[in-house]
Amino acid sequence: MSSEIVEDQPRQLSIEELTFKVDQLSYQLHENDDKHSKLLDSVHSEAQALSKNLKSIKERNLRSELDKSAEAKTDTTLLRRFEWTIDNCSSRFPSKSKNDAIVSPEFSMLGFNNMSLEFFPQGRESTWQEGFCSLFLWCSAGTRVKYQLTVGEYTAAPDEDEYNSRMGHGHSNFCLLAPQIDKETDTIKVAIEVLSIVCVSENKSGIKLHTTSPEKLIDMEAAILRQRDVDTVEWTIKGIRKRIRDVPAGLAICSPIFSAAGVGQMLMEFYPNGIKGSTKDGHCGFYLRCPPGTSLIVTLFVGNAQKGPIKTDFDGNSAKGLPEFCRMLDQVVEGQDDLLVGIKLRNMLLEKEDGITSLLLSSDDDKTGPLPSVG
């Protein structure tokens, strides 16, 4: 079973310790006037930058309040594209300097919240193309998103970024601003289209939560339809000799989750050294898991050893199979380091006379899991 090591949280300082450190810093500042002066200059520069950011935040909050009621009524679960129209460009943009941003209201897409666009009409300090604007997408920490940004009629090539903290990713030299302004309406359209998105968040106890877009869930359901005629699933377990040495009795190698014969969320569990308490040394265990309520005619095979067919009803979280399926080394071919295992299925509800098709799986993406509840 895989596990994650959770680092200890840093100890919080007491009030007395904090007071001591503050006094110590004050003493050092007074001892060195030159450093103190440089520090004040740095604080002054930072205050100017914060002032600009505060102005942008106030503008964003104002727009957010205006759009709040309308946005609350909008279902963004399947929203892929967000368009933002900036008006009064002729009077608004000339008053902006480099690094002076206009920030969109926060929006949600595909069920993900707290996204926003940051638009710099005059670019940033790192903008080296004269007359070019800058555009950035802001997302929450843990987000990985593939997207396309648009200003006016210009759309950039897809970007894919991972957000380690709440920050902006995008382009300092996005496009030439002037041609993208609609002269008739004195507006400019700024947009984003999300192609794919995933978010991973971790709480204080070390648990990681993986959120994916609804489209991923739809794809999983679509896989059931695409693979409803699959009646044979072959799983190649690579490096089987090493698995026999390293995986103790009672520990399973799990296949990727797959769909076949009109059933989704299926998974195979292979025990190279059998389950705990097995009375036959050197025998492997092999099981199949299916959603509760599934009824199939199943044949299981490990190498050349085959068991079945047998009618199997899956209930609860139990797996169906054999704890002492066959003698492991009898199925390991001399000179080969891979083992082919799998299942043959018949779903009486979807009985067809079509030709046999096969789904090939690899153990590259397999997982190690505990002993199942054997049914």
pLDDT per residue over 67-82, tens digit each? Answer: 555 555 566 667 889 9
Query: CA–CA distance from 72 to each of 57, 61, 90, 118, 297 (Å)?
Result: 20, 15, 32, 22, 49
Most confident of 54-68, 90-104, 338-352: 90-104
User: Quick check: bond before 272 cis, omega within 30?
Assistant: no
- Please provide the average confidence, as pLDDT, over all residues in the chain: 82
Instruction: Report pLDDT for 227.
Output: 73
Domains in the chain (CATH in brackets) are 51-202 (2.60.210.10), 227-369 (2.60.210.10)
Per-residue pLDDT for 375 more than 50? no
Name 81's bridge partners: 193
Read off the pLDDT band of 93 (50, 70, 90).
very high
Instruction: Report pLDDT for 366.
Output: 57
Task: Give the start-end residues of each E strand in 217-282.
Answer: 232-238, 252-254, 258-260, 263-271
pLDDT digits (tens, 9 = 90+) for 179-196: 999 999 999 999 999 888
Distance CA 40, CA 260 (A): 68
Instruction: Report pLDDT for 353.
Output: 46
